[in-house]
Amino acid sequence: MAQDDTPRGPETGSGAILPGPPHDGADDPVQLIDQHGVRRPHGHYDELITDVDGAALRKLYEDMVVVRRIDAEATALQRQGELALWPPLLGQEAAQIGSGRALREDDFVFSSYRENAVAYCRGVDLTDLLRVWRGNASSGWDPYSINMATPQVIIGAQTLHATGYAMGILQDGADSVAVTYFGDGATSQGDVNEAMVFAASYQAPVIFFCQNNQWAISEPVGLQAHVPIARRAPGFGIPSVRVDGNDVLACLAVTREALARARSGGGPTFIEAVTYRMGPHTTADDPKRYRDANELEDWTARDPLARVATLLDSLGLLDADYTDSVKATADAIAAELRQGCLSMPEPEPLDVFKHVYSAPNSWLDRQQDHYERYLASFAEASQEGSR
């Protein structure tokens, strides 16, 4: 099964250095749909997606179109001064939708700041997705409302939260799973390594889902990882798998396998989804300054959406009615996102005291009292001073 178009990451990560202990998956990423939209049979993973029929594949495609549209709209809103910053996910739709759609409602997600497509799968309110980036709130949503923690900006810290949560699941005797998302850069953080040690020690039901998008801001993955990142996990006693992160079916399949392992007491799994950040790190970044244009071209040829569209077309499932309805859905959601952004009420000064403690706190009350009196001292702006 020659797969010359399979993404392998940069040359430096070719894996020729260590003959060493193999991890459960091979270095060649698991692939079920190749970059030309051809469905590749797989001896092991095919049976995990037997339920994915044409309609389900269409739904996955629609999800990817919608989240790409959300991403484009949010990027535009930033350029229009409506958001202070936005971290685009362009190119990583398959990794996020494939894994996100594998989850059960009672699973719990701990993500970084780029997993807006995962949040979409969890059913996040679109306006909530933007609150923090607009500077309107210090946190976007109630994590328990969608079983997804609000995005962690500190690189890799969420892996510890996930492992801790998974240890809690063990205590509860439940069969839900904690899933944590992070990038290739985060694997160099102490937190991620500590989280893996604890996850392995306690055989906690946690999935480490690493989106290796090749770039830690401006640093190529080859500098941080001389062997595929997935090979690190076995050193912690955690089985790992490399998957084509631009293949939504493969991402769905490997995530399902990891979930099943975790639910049945098999402990943690490490997934390295090999993908590509086609856009900037954030809207404040210019990847052209550090990235070869040819690289983007190579990865554009491996676009996660295009290959599914080709596959659907070859199955006769990409008729105009369907594509029109997908586009209409995406446009409507984008309009809803824009409206939600623009009509977000400005926060009141005293909102800063909300959501600090769940129970009354005399120190905070005192500070709030002082602040109220301070605000009241502005003769014109004393509307908040009544008490």
Partner 1 sequence: MTTTTSTTVKEFRLPDLGEGLTESEIVQWHVGEGDTVELNQIIADVETAKAVVELPSPYAGTVLRLHEAAGTVVDVGAPIVSFEVAGEPGKTPTTTPSVPPASAPETASDEVAAPPDGDTDAAPAKREPNLVGYGAALEKSGRPQRRSRAHQAGTAEATPPPVVKPVEQPAAAASAQAPAERPRSTPPVRKLARDLGIALETLTGSGPGGLIVRDDVLAAADGSPAELSPGQQPAGEPPAGEPPATDTAARQTRTPIRGMRKHTAAAMVASAFTAPHVTEFLTIDVTPTMELLTELKASRAFEGTRVTPLTIVAKALCIAVARNPTVNSSWDEQAQEIVQYADVNLGIAAATPRGLLVPNIRAAQSLSLVDLARSLASLTETARAGKTPPADLTGGTISITNIGVFGIDAGTPILNPGEAAILAMGAVRSTPWEYQGAVALRSVMTLSLSFDHRLVDGEQGSRFLADIGTILRNPAMVLTMV
281 is catalytic: yes
Does residue 361 interact with partner 1 by CB under 8 A?
no
Nearer to partner 1, 58 or 131 (CB): 131
Does residue 286 interact with partner 1 by CB under 8 A?
yes
Does residue 219 interact with partner 1 by CB under 8 A?
no
E strand segments, the chain: 108-110, 178-183, 206-212, 215-216, 219-220, 240-244, 269-274
User: Could you tell me if residue 36 is left (phi over 0), alpha (psi between -120 and 50 degrees) or otherwise beta?
Assistant: alpha
Distance CA 368, CA 316 (A): 63
On the 0-12 / 13-18 / 19+ scale of CB atoms within 10 A, 79 is exposed
The two counts, helices (H) then strands (E), for the chain are 14, 7
Q: Which of 24, 82, 336, 384 binds partner 1 (CB under 8 A)?
A: 82
Determine the size of the site formed for partner 1 (CB under 8 A): 27
Q: Which of 26, 84, 174, 223 binds partner 1 (CB under 8 A)?
A: 84
290 is catalytic: yes
Footprint of partner 1 on 179-218 (CB under 8 A): none
Does residue 152 interact with partner 1 by CB under 8 A?
no
Encode 241-268: b = buried (16+ Cβ within 10 Å), e = exposed: bbbbbbbbbbbbbbbbbbbebbbeeebb
Nearer to partner 1, 74 or 312 (CB): 74
Nearer to partner 1, 78 or 240 (CB): 78
Q: DSSP character for 39? A: B
Q: Which of 153, 154, 217, 284 binds partner 1 (CB under 8 A)?
A: 284
Does residue 289 interact with partner 1 by CB under 8 A?
yes
Stretch that binds partner 1, among 13-21, 202-210, 280-288, 296-304 (CB under 8 A): 280-288
Distance CA 198, CA 217 (A): 28
| 67: nearest Cα among 324, 235, 304, 298 | 304
Footprint of partner 1 on 121-150 (CB under 8 A): 134-136
Does residue 328 interact with partner 1 by CB under 8 A?
no
Q: CB 286 → partner 1: shortest distance, Å? A: 3
Nearer to partner 1, 343 or 386 (CB): 343
Footprint of partner 1 on 338-357 (CB under 8 A): 338-339, 342-343
Find tokens 């009420």 and name the residue. Answer: 345
Distance CA 33, CA 298 (A): 17
**Which residue in 36, 44, 79, 290 is the catalytic one?**
290
Rg (CA), the chain: 22
Return the ∠ at Cα 182 (arms to 176 and 186), rounded to 5°. Answer: 135
226 is catalytic: no
Active site residues: 277, 281, 290
> Binding residues for partner 1, per CB under 8 A?
72-73, 76, 78-85, 134-136, 280, 282-286, 288-289, 338-339, 342-343, 381
